[in-house]
Amino acid sequence: MRNKVTVVGAGNVGATTAQRIFDGGYADVVLVDIVDGLPQGKALDMLESGPILGTDASIVGTNGYEETEGSDVVVVTSGIARKPGMSRDDLLLTNMKIVTSVVEQTAKFSPNSVHLIVTNPLDAMAQQALKITGFPSNRVVGMAGILDTARYRTFLAEELGVSVNSVSAYVLGGHGDTMVPVVESTNVAGTPVSKLIAPKRLEEIVQRARDGGAEIVNYLKTGSAFYAPSASIVQMVEAIIFDKKEILPCTAYLQGQYGISDLYVGVPVKLGSNGVEEIVELNLNSDELNALRKSAEAVQELVEVMAGAQ
Ligand code: APR
Q: Whose CA is nearest to atom 14 of ligand 1?
A: 11
Q: Phi, psi (5° rounding) for residue 36?
A: -60, 130
Query: What is the 135 CA–ligand 1 centroid distance (Å)?
Result: 23
Do 156 and 202 meet the contact criterion of CB atoms below 8 Å apart? no
Distance 65 CA to ligand 1 centre (A): 16
For every one of its 310 residues, what pLDDT tens digit does the chain have, with 9 covering 90 and above?
A: 899 999 999 999 999 999 999 999 999 999 999 999 999 999 999 999 999 999 999 999 999 999 999 999 999 999 987 778 877 778 899 999 999 999 999 999 999 999 999 999 999 999 999 999 999 999 999 999 999 999 999 999 999 999 999 999 989 987 767 788 887 789 999 999 999 999 999 999 999 999 999 999 999 998 899 999 999 999 999 999 999 999 999 999 999 999 999 999 999 999 999 999 999 999 898 988 998 999 899 899 999 999 988 7
**Residue nearest to ligand 1 atom 27, measured at CA:** 81
Based on the residue annotation, tell me whether 175 is a catalytic residue of this protein.
yes
For ligand 1, say whether the CB of 232 is within 6 Å of any of its atoms: no
Q: Give the separation between CA 257 and CA 24, rounded to whole angstroms.
A: 35
Count of residues in the chain: 310
- Look at residue 176 in the predicted model and tell me its pLDDT: 67
CA angle at 223 for the pair 220 and 226, rounded to the nearest 5°: 90
Helix (H/G/I), strand (E/B), else coil: 59: strand
Q: Is the pTM of the predicted complex or chain greater than 0.75?
A: yes
Q: Is 35 touching ligand 1 by the criterion CB < 6 Å?
A: yes
Task: Name every residue whose Cβ is closer than 8 Å to that of residue 26 and which is 6 or more positions away in sequence.
Answer: 2, 3, 57, 238, 241, 242
The residue from 20, 175, 210, 270 that is catalytic is: 175
For the chain, list the domains and their CATH numbers.
3-142 (3.40.50.720), 145-309 (3.90.110.10)
- Please list the helix, strand and coil fractions of the chain in percent, rounded to the nearest 5, in that order: 50, 20, 30
